[in-house]
Structure 1
Amino acid sequence: MKTTEDAAYCTWMCLICGYVYDEAAGSPEEGIPAGTRWRDIPINWVCPECGARKDEFEMLEI
């Protein structure tokens, strides 16, 4: 049985500007290492492109 940690990485898109956050790649330029899950990003993090909050992002379908 797979655990959540074993699950495939997800990709999240900002609904305001289209910026894409890929869990596998992270966002090193924003201080978020590769492999960081969306749920582990601080709630006060904002989109580096437009400043939108996390709740303005939606998981992309695989």
Structure 2
Amino acid sequence: MKRLIHRKIETWLILLAAKILIGRNVQRSAVVSRRDNNDMWAMAEKLEAIAKRISKNYP
């Protein structure tokens, strides 16, 4: 039971990080370059995939 709770909390934190990265996605910004913006979007997608695998206990 403890492992399940730990896995769910870890998944939630990873998804939170992904949401923060996707939330930084902006059309045009004087602060964030287009390349960095695209990199953040790609990182968020990778984090979501990792969270999915963790929540399913790496099937």
- Give the TM-score band, short-chain normalised: under 0.3
Structure (1 or 2) with the greater strand fraction: 1
Which structure has the larger Rg over C-alpha atoms? 2
More relative contact order, 1 or 2 (CA 8 Å, 6+ apart): 2
Structure (1 or 2) with the greater helix fraction: 2
